[in-house]
Structure 1
């Protein structure tokens, strides 16, 4: 799963690039771009990869992705079946952090939006009451240039004041992408995302990073503030959460599909990361859907 830089230079003379996507499935491309991206899922579900965060996505999700933050939307298997009639639909708004002019968001009146843009470097998932902002996003492309820009400021202001949100990617992952000359770490993250369900070892990723295992272990812990094994387990647990919520497999099957090699270790690592056992997590999720 190679990390791709996508060229959004087609923004041209427009401050915003607004696209309404409708495909049999989203493109399986692990990518990043210098623009921020605001996304609302109109239809479809699957797994969302943002930095080192792995979670399910579904209709109605609103996500803000910061500049140069790697991400991918991977639809469920049934979307790729030959006779599938399913559709993946979304609206995305790409914009440069200085689209309103250099220093514009330094004005006191724009403080909350500036803070929102700063938080976006982790990726943000918004929850709670979002009907009004969803309606604005869906209708923004019907407006003329001036009205479109004013409406987008209104959207950003709403999201900047909205308190029900969650940051997605870890600070360790973000910091490693902000450190110049760390191309090897980018390769490591790509390798982990692609192979976390397999039996990968410290030696494997150290080889990807072109470092000896001891040096890589120290380097990885210094950058991420956690060991490689802790990081790998958190990625696997994140993926298992998606499978548990889908309820298509039992806990034992999910354990092995997520990359763990025995149930006891899976239960231990899951509780360490999520503060609940897999069974408790299923019960909590079931209650939230009632």
Structure 2
């Protein structure tokens, strides 16, 4: 499957763009762009691909996608039948983090929005949103430029305060480790992403940041609410998913390339984290994408 860079450059010299997509089906292209994207699916159903996340989608969902994160909404087969009478409708906002200037996110009033955009690097699905939020997103299509700007900031603020959400792509899938203001965590992520293909232990990371092993384990579990071993396996499986999605190697080669020293442990960890075996994951991907694009 080929990954496409789409040019979302706004030609109207606005700080961000709002588009209304209303077609028989959504575009069947696995793509990315340098802008963040806020998408409200008003009408449609199918399979949503964001990074290594593959889930069903239905109307009414609101998704925030970070810059350069590959994604696609693929409609069910019936949407491609001329006589179905179905349609795919969505409102999409494309914007850069600095859409209000290089420094606006540094203002204390925008702290929660800044955190929201950081989380968007993995993609965010908002759960249990009020209908008013969807109506506000759709209203961006009809407001004058100033009112549209104010309303968009209000929408971002509402989403930033909403605490019922799911992050979609795995940590291991994103192109670079998650940035953080905590220097110790920054060093942990950097070490893991540089060395996850090797045999590493929690004690190795503890030594890297100057902690003893037991203190490191407690610190890591408190911050991440999971053990370091679980986190490391998620990183490795996220990397393996990318290889499977890009059809680079066979499953055995991917297992060793991802840092696992035997195929049985790879299969077990993959199924625990992804909910399906590597072969089923690859087959599902092939059936839904390669045969249709």
User: TM-score with structure 1 length normalisation?
Assistant: 0.68
User: Using the alignment, how far apart are the partners of 2:78 and 2:277 within structure 1?
Assistant: 21
Residue 41 of structure 1 corresponds to which residue in structure 2? Answer: 41
User: Match for 1:201 among 251, 267, 283?
Assistant: 251
**1:236 positional shift:** 6.4
SS at match of 1:91: strand
Residue 208 of structure 2 corresponds to which residue in structure 1? Answer: none
Residue 209 of structure 1 corresponds to which residue in structure 2? Answer: none
User: Using the alignment, how far apart are the partners of 1:15 and 1:132 within structure 2?
Assistant: 24
Structure in which a larger fraction of residues adopt helix: 1
What residue ranges of structure 1 are gaps of 5+ in the alignment?
206-212, 240-253, 260-290
User: Using the alignment, how far apart are the partners of 1:144 and 1:255 within structure 2?
Assistant: 46
Residue 156 of structure 1 corresponds to which residue in structure 2? Answer: 156
CA gap of 1:31–1:231, structure 2 versus 1, over 3 A, is farther
Q: Where do 1:226-245 residues align within 5 Å? A: 227=266, 230-231=269-270, 234-235=273-274, 237=276
Q: Where do 1:102-251 residues align within 5 Å? A: 102-175=102-175, 192-193=244-245, 200-203=250-253, 214=256, 216-218=257-259, 227=266, 230-231=269-270, 234-235=273-274, 237=276
User: Using the alignment, how far apart are the partners of 1:154 and 1:255 within structure 2?
Assistant: 39
The count of residues paired between Structure 1 and Structure 2 equals 225
User: Using the alignment, how far apart are the partners of 1:170 and 1:187 within structure 2?
Assistant: 9
Q: Which ranges of 4 or more aligned residues in structure 1 deviate by more than 6 Å?
A: 177-180, 185-188, 254-257
Q: Are positions 1:72 and 2:72 aligned together?
A: yes
In angstroms, what is the RMSD of aligned CA positions? Answer: 3.5
Report if aligned partners of 2:172, 2:239 keep a CA contact under 8 Å in 1. no
User: Using the alignment, how far apart are the partners of 2:74 and 2:29 within structure 1?
Assistant: 9
Report if aligned partners of 1:202, 1:228 keep a CA contact under 8 Å in 2. no
Report if aligned partners of 1:54, 1:235 keep a CA contact under 8 Å in 2. no
Report if aligned partners of 2:10, 2:16 keep a CA contact under 8 Å in 1. no
Report if aligned partners of 2:112, 2:157 keep a CA contact under 8 Å in 1. yes
> For structure 1, which segment, 141-150 or 2-11, has the greater mean C-alpha deviation from structure 2 after superposition?
2-11
What residue ranges of structure 2 are gaps of 5+ in the alignment?
179-189, 194-235, 286-293
User: Using the alignment, how far apart are the partners of 1:191 and 1:83 within structure 2?
Assistant: 38
**1:257 positional shift:** 7.0
**1:229 positional shift:** 7.3
Report if aligned partners of 1:40, 1:90 keep a CA contact under 8 Å in 2. yes
**1:48 positional shift:** 0.4
CA gap of 1:63–1:238, structure 2 versus 1, over 3 A, is farther
CA gap of 1:238–1:61, structure 2 versus 1, over 3 A, is farther
**1:81 positional shift:** 2.0
**1:163 positional shift:** 1.0
Report if aligned partners of 2:173, 2:239 keep a CA contact under 8 Å in 1. no
CA gap of 1:238–1:122, structure 2 versus 1, over 3 A, is farther
Report if aligned partners of 1:3, 1:32 keep a CA contact under 8 Å in 2. yes
Residue 100 of structure 1 corresponds to which residue in structure 2? Answer: 100
User: TM-score with structure 2 length normalisation?
Assistant: 0.67
Residue 61 of structure 1 corresponds to which residue in structure 2? Answer: 61
> For structure 1, which segment, 75-84 or 17-26, has the greater mean C-alpha deviation from structure 2 after superposition?
75-84
User: Using the alignment, how far apart are the partners of 2:95 and 2:77 within structure 1?
Assistant: 31
User: Using the alignment, how far apart are the partners of 1:82 and 1:136 within structure 2?
Assistant: 32
SS at match of 1:138: helix
